[in-house]
Structures are given as C-alpha cells and as structure tokens.
C-alpha cells in the first residue's frame, strides 16, 4: 500500500434506515430492560418500549414514503447498495409494523380468570401463553413454583422486536447476502419463541426443534443457491444478476439451479407445498400469540423478498421458473384446502388455511407485472390483520387445561358468547373470500392479475380451492351457532373474558376486515402506486 492511499469510510444513510434502526434499537433496549430493570417493572416497561418503538418506526416509514411520493424518484439505495428504500419496501415495512401492533398486544396478554387456572382463586393474574421460566423442565416443581409466584416471561418482547427488525430488512434487501442475514435475524428469535409455550410444553419444544432443523436446512438451500447465482453473475446484487441474465453471457445451468435453490429457501418461509411440513406442527405447538405473529408477519416479509428476487433479479428467466411456480401454486391451493377439511384441531385447521392462502398469493406473484405486484401487496395487508385476529379468538376459548383446540368442543360457542363467535365467523368468511369482506377483494385482485398475465387455468384452480376451503370455514360457523355441545360439565370450552389488549387485537382485525371489504379503493390505489421496484 502506498503512503497516500486513503481508506474510504462506508456511507450509512441513517435517515433511510430509520425504521429498521428504531426496531433494532428497541430490541437492544429490551435486553437491557431485562438485565437491569426490577422484575416488577419489566412487563410495563417492555410494553411501552415495544409499542412506542413500533409507532416511531411507523412514523419514519410514513415520512420516507411521503418524501418519495413527492419526487419523481423510484427510491434510493443505502448501506453501499445493500439495502433499497423503494415503494414496495416501504409498503411492506408499513404493513409489517401495522400488523406488529395487534401482535404485540396479543403477546402482552397476561390476564386469566382464576376459575380456569389450577392455582387458588386469590392467586394474582399471570401469563398463560408463555412459560414462566423457559429453563425449567415441563411439569417440574421449579416450574410450579414459578407459576405460583406469577413470574412472567418477559424475554419474549426483545425477541419479538429482533424478529420484526429482520422482517423489515428482508424485503428491503438489495443483494442475496443481506437477504440471507435478514432471513437468519428474523428466524432465530422465532425458533426460540416457538418453544416458550406454558401449556403442552413438550409439544411446544418439539415444534421449536422441528422449526429450527427444517429452517436451518432451507437456509442452507438459500445460501447455496446464492453462491450459484454469484458464480453465474459475478455479483450477489439483484440488479447485477438481472443484467447478467438479460445479457445471457454466463452458464445457464448455474442460473437455473441457483434460482431453484433460492426459490426453495423462500418457498419454505411462505409454507408452500411441498415445503409445508413444519407449518401444522409449529402452528399448533407454538404459543398462540407467536403463531399469530408468524402466520401474518413472516408471510408478508417472505413474499416481499420473493417478489423482489423474481421481479428484479430473475424476470428474464420466467420461462424457467414460472412453470415450477405454477405447479407449486396449484399443489399449495388444492392440497392445503383438502387437508384443512380433515382437521379436528382449530390451530391445525388455520395452519392449513394459511398454506392455502400462500397458494392464492402465489397466483398474483406469477403474473410478473405491476398488477401482480399490486395485488400481492394488497392481499398481504388485509390477510395479515384477519389472521392475527383469528388466532386472538383462539386464545380466549379455554377449559381448565388451557386453550381448547378440538373443533368439536366449540359447539354452542355462539350462544355462550355471540359477539366473539360472530367476530370469528366474520374472519372465517373473509378467509373464504365472501363479498363485503377484505378477503373477497384480495382474492379478486390476485385472480384478476393472474388471468391478465396468461394464467387463467391457475385462476380456475384457485376458484375450486376456494370452494373447498369454504367447506371447513362454514363447518366451524355451523358448529358454533347451530350445534349443541355433547355434554355440559366442568370440562367444556369456556370463553374467558379477554383483557383490553386482546379485545383491541380482535377489534383491529375485524375492523380492517370490514373496512377494506366495503371500501378497498384507497388501499388498492396505494398498492398500485407502490408497485414499482427500484432496479
């Protein structure tokens, strides 16, 4: 090195990265709260920090979007080109932050009616979804002592914030290595959170282990595919890969194989068939608030990253990857709907419903045009709120051992709690795509984009799958309102009076379902304006 050589410091655009930096900062502060704040003050401190941080990050997203909307630019690059701040990224980040608000409220639920708990009636309210101490052996004396003492697990808040930060970065990544780092940052906290259920601990820990092993396996596929695409293009930047594919100067086998392996890693995260085996077990075993957060937010982040990869880096390879995605979408819609009909557990039914909806969203992505991207963004937004609210309802239907998963025991719920059962029925109708719900316009948008993009047969399969899915949604509604419970005893399902947090979560989801089912125009227009990637 010569004496006059200069080392240039990397440029970090802090204002452009503000939403992600705020969330990661909140996560780090949450760790410090856990370490230094007295135990009695941790819970309210975590809630205030999480909600305040999400609100600040959302304000930063809105400010960036307004500045972008007032200019002719499609966006800008940050962190030396590794992060892109464009319209789709900001729309997805705003969606994630809005979904995170009811999710955190649900995670913060700490109220259980004493009559439904195993402790004395004068015991203080305590956490029900999360283990009081993650390190204790399920069913041990130490766990019972921690439960009786009302020691709440508060590590879930910083872990959730770390996962949310990774989700914000995932769809905004402009190169495959940054995308891989974001994938791991969002995944690792979720692996831990899935194993923290208070009830049915062994099932929860099994779910966490299965998610970890299969998730690590899929991450390896993604990383290996990234290496092959680097070998093809000489760069991991998505735009450079797209230019190399357009020029066609590399080894086509590397490009096709790399695309396939990266696709496997992304399809695992959205839960598409045949990469879905973890979904039912993990959704059933994880604490229900975490299941709600995963089912909504992870899908938004993963589809956001997937659209960026296929629309920015690989549009000229569509003749190779579109047939494969056709097959995956068809299998995901049909098999997911058929398997959902056979389920007897409410969380497993919603898990297979989530798989089916992944297939519906894929039909919009396959269009590979602005209409496909716009419809995908709209669907992800409305589906996320309905999903969180649906799982919130599950958390308050209980017996003396915890949540009631057996669908048959939901019989007569409409008479016991008409308001709650009515809210759940509305959410199920939205999942089925019934008119005057947000789900109807979501399906209409993706099916219309697919038909205009030459995928009319895929739309036919989607309509058939929707009809099959309507069977199990309506079955639950009929069971709640028009069936009597098999027996009336102390073990029958009881609706626990939810706290303000859970009530708000359900109310937000139901409100979004109704509002965007009646007035979808403003959100559709916003999604249309956001459907332009910075290339």
- Predicted pLDDT of residue 441: 93
- Predicted pLDDT of residue 161: 95
- Predicted pLDDT of residue 114: 40
d(CA 116, CA 399): 7
Look up tokens 């007032």; give the residue: 70
Q: What's this model's pTM, rounded to 2 decimal places?
A: 0.91
Tens of pLDDT, residue by residue over 289-315, are 999 999 999 999 999 999 999 999 888
Percent above pLDDT 90 for the chain: 58
d(CA 322, CA 366): 7
* Residue pair 336/468 in contact by the 8 Å Cβ criterion: no
- Predicted pLDDT of residue 132: 65
Tens of pLDDT, residue by residue over 75-90, are 788 888 889 999 999 9
Q: What is the mean pLDDT of residues 217-227?
A: 93
- Predicted pLDDT of residue 298: 94
Paired tokens of 317: 């390879």
CA distances from 339 to 69, 178, 317, 349 (A): 44, 36, 33, 8
Residue 11 lies in a domain: no
Residue 6 lies in a domain: no
Q: What is the mean pLDDT of residues 65-70?
A: 84
Paired tokens of 283: 């959704």
Residue 535 lies in a domain: no
DSSP-based three-state secondary structure for 402: strand
In this model, does residue 68 exceed pLDDT 90? no
Residue 2 lies in a domain: no
d(CA 461, CA 458): 5
Residue 30 lies in a domain: yes
Q: Shortest CA distance to 170 belongs to which of 157, 189, 184?
A: 184
218-227, 252-261, 289-298, 409-418: lowest mean pLDDT where?
A: 409-418
- Predicted pLDDT of residue 205: 84
- Predicted pLDDT of residue 409: 83
- How many structural domains compose the chain? 1
Residue 12 lies in a domain: no
Q: What is the mean pLDDT of residues 474-491?
A: 76
Q: What is the mean pLDDT of residues 378-383?
A: 95
Domain extent for 403: 18-530
Among 93-102, 450-459, 500-509, name the most confident range: 93-102
Per the prediction, the chain carries an average pLDDT of 86
Residue 4 lies in a domain: no
- Predicted pLDDT of residue 15: 87
In this model, does residue 257 exceed pLDDT 70? yes
Tens of pLDDT, residue by residue over 325-339, are 999 999 999 999 999
Percent above pLDDT 70 for the chain: 90
Tens of pLDDT, residue by residue over 109-150, are 876 544 444 444 444 334 467 766 666 666 667 766 766 665
- Predicted pLDDT of residue 524: 93
d(CA 265, CA 269): 7
């Amino acid at each position: 090195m010569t004496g006059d050589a200069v080392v240039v410091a990397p440029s970090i655009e802090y204002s452009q990265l503000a939403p992600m930096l705020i969330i990661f900062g909140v996560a780090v502060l949450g760790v410090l709260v856990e370490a230094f704040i007295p135990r009695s003050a941790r819970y309210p401190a975590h809630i205030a920090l999480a909600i305040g941080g999400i609100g600040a990050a959302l304000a930063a997203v809105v400010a960036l979007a307004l500045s972008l909307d007032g200019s002719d630019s499609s966006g800008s690059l940050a962190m030396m080109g590794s992060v892109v701040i464009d319209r789709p990224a900001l729309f997805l980040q705003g969606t994630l932050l809005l979904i995170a608000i009811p999710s955190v409220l649900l995670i913060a639920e700490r109220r259980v009616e004493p009559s439904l708990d195993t402790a004395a009636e004068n015991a203080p309210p305590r956490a029900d979804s999360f283990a009081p101490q993650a390190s204790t052996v399920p069913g041990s004396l130490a766990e019972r002592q921690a439960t009786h003492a009302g020691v709440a697990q508060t590590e879930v808040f910083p872990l959730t914030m770390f996962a949310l930060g990774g989700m914000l970065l995932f769809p905004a990544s402009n190169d495959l290595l940054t995308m891989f780092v974001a994938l791991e940052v969002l995944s690792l906290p979720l692996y831990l959170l899935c194993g923290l259920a208070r009830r049915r601990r062994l099932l929860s820990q099994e779910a966490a282990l299965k998610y970890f092993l299969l998730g690590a396996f899929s991450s390896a596929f993604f990383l290996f595919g990234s290496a092959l695409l680097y070998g093809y293009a000489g760069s991991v930047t998505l735009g450079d890969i797209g230019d190399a594919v357009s020029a066609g100067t590399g080894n086509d086998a590397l490009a096709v194989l790399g695309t396939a392996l990266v696709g496997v890693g992304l399809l695992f995260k959205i839960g598409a068939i045949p990469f879905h085996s973890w979904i039912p077990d993990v959704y059933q075993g994880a604490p229900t608030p975490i299941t709600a957060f995963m089912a909504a937010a992870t899908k938004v982040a993963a589809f956001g990253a997937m659209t960026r990869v296929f629309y920015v880096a690989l549009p000229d390879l569509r003749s190779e990857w579109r047939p494969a995605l056709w097959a995956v979408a068809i299998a995901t819609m049909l098999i997911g709907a058929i398997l959902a009909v056979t389920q007897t557990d409410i969380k497993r039914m919603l898990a297979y419903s989530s798989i089916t909806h992944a297939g519906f969203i894929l039909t919009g992505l396959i269009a590979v045009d602005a209409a496909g991207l716009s419809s995908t963004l709209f669907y992800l937004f409305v589906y996320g709120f309905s999903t969180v609210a649906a799982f919130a309802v599950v958390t308050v239907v209980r017996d003396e051992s915890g949540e009631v998963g057996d669908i048959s025991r939901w019989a007569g719920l409409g008479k016991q709690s008409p308001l709650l059962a009515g809210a759940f029925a509305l959410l199920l109708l939205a999942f089925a795509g019934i008119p005057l719900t947000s789900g109807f316009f979501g399906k209409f948008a993706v099916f219309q984009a697919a038909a205009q993009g030459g995928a009319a047969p895929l739309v036919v399969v989607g309509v058939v799958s929707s009809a099959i899915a309507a069977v199990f949604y309506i079955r639950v509604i009929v069971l709640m309102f028009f069936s009597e419970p098999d027996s009336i005893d102390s073990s029958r399902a009881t609706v626990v009076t939810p706290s303000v947090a859970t009530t708000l979560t359900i109310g937000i989801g139901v409100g979004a379902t109704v509002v965007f089912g009646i007035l979808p125009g403003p959100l559709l227009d916003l999604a249309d304006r956001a459907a332009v990637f910075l290339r």
